[in-house]
Amino acid sequence: MDENTVLLAQDETHVHSYQALRATWSPKGEQKQIPTYGHHAQVTLFGTVDTQTGDIFCTTADSCNAASFLEFLKKVMKRYANKKVIMIIDNARIHHAKLLRPFLKEHHQRLYLLFLPPYSPNLNPIEKLWRWLKDSVISNVFHKNQSEIEQAVQRFLDFTQSCPEQVLRRIGY
């Protein structure tokens, strides 16, 4: 692949305030207590990881639908304005929506969507990033509102920007 082409793994995820209670070690009689607040906040992320450099690009969205995906694609194309973009992508319905067709037709020379086989998330490198994110941000933690989740996600993303080699190792490249 030449320097004018980027290979991006793309996916969406939801980071919930109540999602991940994991086994953990604690001294006998001092079990970790995780408070709950009676509601369930979440943050929806659209993201890509560059499989050559480890660069991560994420945005939040109000919902996970074709319109949000289209807005994300526009941001990706702006971010990589002078490059050809090959995007590894799953077969979610929002990725095949009619709403996308004019945009895809307009950018057909610079954007190529590489669809994975159905029911094969294990083939998408960004799934490993989502796992790392959730293990870091929500395992054995309960965020009281959406703002706290967003702040924790942003701290994780800021951290990953400082260690692209670790990102590449985590995603298997």
Asked whether residue 112 is domain-assigned, the answer is yes
Residues 6+ apart with CB under 8 A from 167: 49, 54, 56, 129, 160
For residues 41 and 120, the answer to whether their CB atoms sit within 8 Å is no
How do residues 128-160 score in pLDDT, each as one tens digit? Answer: 999 999 988 887 777 778 898 999 999 999 999
Residue 157 within any structural domain of the chain: yes
Place of tokens 């029911």: 119
Q: Nearest CA to 166 among 128, 140, 124? A: 128
How far is 58 from 73, CA to CA, in rounded Å? 11
Q: What is the three-class DSSP state of 37?
A: coil
Q: Is residue 130 assigned to a domain?
A: yes
Instruction: Tell whether 133 is covered by a domain.
Output: yes
Based on the structure, what is the number of domains in the chain? Answer: 1
With respect to residue 165, please indicate whether it lies within any of the assigned structural domains: yes
Q: Which domain holds residue 161?
A: 5-16+42-171
- Distance from C-alpha of 84 to C-alpha of 112, rounded to nearest angstrom: 8
CATH number at residue 69: 3.30.420.10
Question: Averaged over 51-76, what is the pLDDT?
Answer: 97
Instruction: Judge whether residue 60 has pLDDT over 70.
Output: yes
Q: Examine residue 21 and state whether it is found in any structural domain, yes or no.
A: no
Q: At 52, list the tokens.
A: 């050559």
Contact partners, residue 39, CB within 8 Å, separation at least 6: 17
> pTM of the full predicted structure?
0.86
pLDDT(67) > 90? yes
Spatial separation of the C-alpha atoms in residues 144 and 121, rounded to whole Å: 30
Q: pLDDT digit string (tens) for 34-59? A: 565 655 678 999 999 999 999 999 99
Q: What is the pLDDT of residue 23?
A: 61
Give kind and range of the element (H or E) at residue 10: strand 5-16
Q: Could you count the other beta carbons within 10 Å of the beta carbon of residue 22?
A: 9
User: What 3-state DSSP class applies to 58?
Assistant: strand
Q: Does residue 64 fall inside a structural domain?
A: yes
Q: What is the DSSP letter of 49?
A: E
Position 85 scores a pLDDT of 98
Q: Is residue 149 part of a domain?
A: yes
